Structure 1
Amino acid sequence: MLVTMLASGTRGDTQPYIALGLELKKLGVDVRIAASESYRGLVESYGFDYAEIRGDVAKIIESGVVKEADNPFKFFSSLKNDDLMDLMVGAQEDQHKACEGANAIVYHPGSPLGYFVANEMGIPSILASPFPLVPTNEYPAIIFYDKVRLGKLSNKLTHLIFEQGFWKMANTGFKRYWTEKFGQLPKGFTNPYQKQRTKNNPTIVSLSPSVFPVPKDWPEHVHSFGYWFIEDQSDYQPSEELQQFLNTGDAPIYVGFGSVGDKKRAKESTDMVLEALMATGKRAIINAGGGMEERPNTKDVFFVKSVPHEWLFPYMSAVVHHGGAGTTAAALRFGVPQVIIPFGNDQFAWGRRMNELGVGAKAIPRKELTAEKLGAAIRFTQTASVQEKANHLGMKVKAEKGAQKAAELIMDTIKNNQS
């Protein structure tokens, strides 16, 4: 039995599929993961069949082609670029090839080709989303979450706008590829997300119900069991210098802005962070790259590159980051308070939600960041009440076993389709 997973986006988008794939492998399923060539090594290191999606996502983001959107309507135009569109068309061909021979297709919302190919093949498709993509009146859509609240009807409307806008953004490369290959669009070419709410075509969200409770008005076949985490990181071996730094002194602060940091402002960002740390008296691990300069290590500040969050975060007393869904989830998992510095898109939502839950300081948009504000936010995370809330929520998030339950649902879906 073969399941193809179509991952779309950065490492934060790809890693949850690896976690889900590991749980499927435990159930005796062969798993093929289609992902950017940036993550070939990551996918293959876990023993999966890797299918290449052309284009190096990390380099594309670093080039500045993809713009971070600091309001909901900029989000839908953030990927408009002719060179990027050509790459997206080629990626559709790669994803289509990766689906050959599959018994089910699990796909990211950014890869709607998965629904239409599965439909043509007569196999189940599972929409596997790293964020809520199903309308509800209980809270606004993720890119509207940090905006003014106008009630239940408005909440529902923001989801409909987000869903339709995301579909329009995601289908442009697909439409061009499919018409060039087959001369016409696939049968029933309409928004597939709305069709992913049935027994044979369910939606699963990599999200903790302890973070966003499952809405009462979601359809029966939309599921949110918990985050999809890679459980075992025991193979990672840190340098002797890093391990010694962690073992000496108080638990440090982690600072890192993922792949979205503005490299043109790297010196400014690093200066601000170091000034805030000096004012608070806290030690720190700084992730160089993603908008932070690498500088010589000192007795209180250690610079790293590419250390797994799952290994590192248990050592931290707080995590300062950009608000990516994956980084937010990792900090939650290990009960570490957060300071979110959103650059754009859904990052503002995670910043607000962490503060609402009492496990993070009030978010500071990157445009408004100062050393003084960052220092105050770090001090907030070190208070006993915030540390206690973060630890309590972390225990709940850890216990949910979201990837395991999602894998079991996928297996049930395949068996139902075959019976």
Structure 2
Amino acid sequence: MITILSTGSRGDTQPYIALGLALEKAGQHVRLAAFENYADFVQGYGLEFYPIKGDISVVAASMNGREAMQADNPLKVFLSFNKLKSLIADIQKDFFNACAGADCVVYHPGAAIGYFAAQHFNIPAILAPPFPMTPTGDFPALIFYDMPRLGRGSNFLSHKIFEQIMWSANSSVIKQFWKKEFGEAPANFSNPFKKQNTRKQPAIISCSRHVFPRPQDWPEHVHLPGYWFLDDAADWEPSKELQDFLQKGEAPIYIGFGSVGDPAQAVQTTDLVIDALKRCSQRGVLATGWSGMSKLERIPDDIFILESAPHSWLFPRMAAVVHHGGAGTTAAGLRAGVPGIIIPSGNDQFAWGRRVYELGVGSKPIPRKKLTVENLSAAIQFALTQEIKDAATALGLKIRSENGTEVAAQIIIECLG
């Protein structure tokens, strides 16, 4: 059995479900540990589910959760991660117990206890981040990515700093749990991320080499096989109203801010978005998500508001996608081959926004604090130019040609051997 430890929102959980399905298709049994409110989501795909106490939407809505999601520089990221320690202390036992009986542990960097649980049970540990985090001189760590570039040495150092920030958010709560259970800290208790570069302890990144080319200075056992995309649930169907809207006009612009929208600004944000679409004469599909936007009493005929829909179904039907820049949403937009306009609020979102622009498949990102009707409408018009549309189409073809989940599953199976 292979245990996968996931943390975060629904979008953060999806790639691990995709990986789990690829492993099961290859003959392995998978147990996926995620927040308990995702039980139906995980079990709907036929995977064994191990509940981690808590509801991530409640955590995200808390003051500390909002600060963490909106941390827009490395210092704020460090401080916000430290504030979240109290929220993740209680779930370490759940993560540890999810690893009991496994032959291997695959873990998100936010669940670093997976490394020590694997060491305790004498089984392989596999780091599985949704972004490149192994140190390299080629580009900075993602939380430093949108800052001034100072050369290869600075890039490499930024990764080491980010490793330490991630470890500082995990180390004390892991030690606290371990001492309570076993009377002492784990053996060889130190930052595990820097150890994930051997055949039995590799790192496998859910990202495409066409988005971040694999650095030459990475160790052999750090893998970049491609994204891990989750196909639509077989029983999902769009509403008749949504299908009718899509069929009665030109492809619309998708706008949604996922789990980072501010409920207090939902009505104001919705009005802004509708005005921007009107200014550039575009139809729109607005996803309310976790209250980032609101259902208004009067909605123009060329605007459709929905709560959510699978990005893999919706995005290819859009003319462009405007979103917050989460790793999963960015990947879905790139895969769909449509231009992107990213409105980052914090953490790695600024990096994905800059990378989309650098790749020539979208507009320059607009920080959420600076979002206006004028700059959003201008960004949409820029993204819809033929050069950007052609580049987005070409990149989408390359990403869709990869078999990231299957390759990642095979690497994991080889670890078991």
The CA deviation at 1:86 is 4.1
Q: Within 5 A, what are the aligned runs for 1:13-412? A: 13-66=12-65, 67=67, 68-81=70-83, 84-290=84-290, 291-296=292-297, 297-412=299-414
How many residues align structurally?
412
Say if 1:233 and 1:310, in contact at 8 Å, map to a contact too: no
Say if 2:85 and 2:170, in contact at 8 Å, map to a contact too: no
Distance 2:55 2:232 in 1: 27
Q: Residue type of the partner of 1:328? A: T
Say if 1:139 and 1:155, in contact at 8 Å, map to a contact too: yes
Distance 2:335 2:85 in 1: 36
Distance 1:202 1:215 in 2: 16
The CA deviation at 1:234 is 4.4
The CA deviation at 1:171 is 2.2
- 5+ residue gaps in structure 1? none
Question: In structure 2, do the counterparts of structure 1 residues 150 and 86 end up closer, same or farther at CA, with 3 Å as the change threshold?
Answer: closer
Q: Residue type of the partner of 1:258? A: G
The CA deviation at 1:63 is 2.7
Say if 2:232 and 2:310, in contact at 8 Å, map to a contact too: no
Q: In the alignment, which residue of structure 2 is the partner of 1:4?
A: 3
The CA deviation at 1:295 is 2.2
The CA deviation at 1:64 is 3.1
Q: Residue type of the partner of 1:292? A: M
Q: SS of the counterpart of 1:397?
A: helix
Distance 2:25 2:80 in 1: 38
Say if 1:323 and 1:350, in contact at 8 Å, map to a contact too: yes
Distance 2:22 2:150 in 1: 41
The CA deviation at 1:357 is 0.4
- 5+ residue gaps in structure 2? none
CA-atom RMSD in angstroms: 1.2
Distance 2:120 2:87 in 1: 24
Distance 2:265 2:231 in 1: 35
Q: Residue type of the partner of 1:154? A: S
Distance 2:312 2:171 in 1: 34
Say if 1:105 and 1:118, in contact at 8 Å, map to a contact too: yes
Distance 1:15 1:231 in 2: 9
Kindly provide the CA deviation profile for residues 229-270 of structure 1, in whole angstroms up to 9, marking residues without a partner as x. 013544311111011111110000000001011111112211
Q: SS of the counterpart of 2:61?
A: helix
Of residues 10-19 and 171-180 in structure 1, the stretch that sits farther from structure 2 once superposed is 171-180
Distance 1:295 1:27 in 2: 48
Distance 1:183 1:365 in 2: 47
Distance 2:295 2:384 in 1: 26
Distance 1:100 1:275 in 2: 54
Kindly provide the CA deviation profile for residues 139-191 of structure 1, in whole angstroms up to 9, marking residues without a partner as x. 11100000000111111111111111111112232121111221210000001
Q: Residue type of the partner of 2:318? A: M
Q: SS of the counterpart of 2:126?
A: strand
Q: Residue type of the partner of 2:375? A: K
Which TM-score applies when normalising by structure 2? 0.97
Distance 2:333 2:172 in 1: 35
Say if 2:100 and 2:121, in contact at 8 Å, map to a contact too: no
Q: SS of the counterpart of 2:147?
A: coil
Kindly provide the CA deviation profile for residues 2-44 of structure 1, in whole angstroms up to 9, marking residues without a partner as x. 1000001111221100010010010111110000112111111
The CA deviation at 1:87 is 3.7
Say if 1:233 and 1:311, in contact at 8 Å, map to a contact too: no
Distance 1:234 1:271 in 2: 35
Kindly provide the CA deviation profile for residues 101-133 of structure 1, in whole angstroms up to 9, marking residues without a partner as x. 101000000111111111111111110010111
Say if 1:200 and 1:413, in contact at 8 Å, map to a contact too: yes
Question: In structure 2, do the counterparts of structure 1 residues 234 and 380 end up closer, same or farther at CA, with 3 Å as the change threshold?
Answer: farther
Q: In the alignment, which residue of structure 1 is the partner of 2:415?
A: 413
Distance 1:170 1:306 in 2: 32
Q: Residue type of the partner of 1:398? A: R
Q: SS of the counterpart of 2:79?
A: coil
Q: Residue type of the partner of 1:26? A: K
Kindly provide the CA deviation profile for residues 199-243 of structure 1, in whole angstroms up to 9, marking residues without a partner as x. 111000001000000000000000001000013544311111011
Distance 2:233 2:320 in 1: 20
Q: Residue type of the partner of 1:230? A: L
